[in-house]
């Protein structure tokens, strides 16, 4: 089963999205948006950016 984006209204009244993997696990969440349409545009922006994204490994921060 393929992953899916879910758009929902948060407790703060803002619209958010989350990306769920095929097994139902949440793998990413989005910021709060003022409208459902804006949240959908956020999903579309993530989809476009992820299509050509590379993986970059960062050095571990010192504690």
The domain ranges of the chain are 4-51
Give CA separation, 11 vs 8, 22, 33, in Å.
10, 26, 12
Q: Compute the distance between CA of residue 14 and CA of residue 63 in angstroms, rounded to an integer.
A: 35
DSSP class of 27: E
Global confidence as pTM: 0.80
Give CA separation, 3 vs 24, 49, 55, in Å.
8, 16, 19
Instruction: Classify domain 4-51 by CATH number.
Output: 3.30.160.160
Q: Compute the distance between CA of residue 5 and CA of residue 33 in angstroms, rounded to an integer.
A: 15
Q: What is the mean pLDDT of residues 25-48?
A: 95
Output the pLDDT for position 61. Answer: 75
Output the pLDDT for position 8. Answer: 97
Structure tokens at 19: 């990306």
């Amino acid at each position: 089963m393929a992953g899916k984006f879910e758009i929902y209204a948060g407790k703060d009244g803002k619209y958010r999205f989350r990306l769920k993997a095929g097994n139902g696990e949440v793998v990413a969440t989005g910021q709060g948006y003022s409208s459902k349409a804006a949240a959908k545009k956020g999903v579309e922006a993530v989809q476009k950016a992820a299509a050509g994204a590379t993986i970059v490994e960062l050095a571990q921060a010192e504690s």
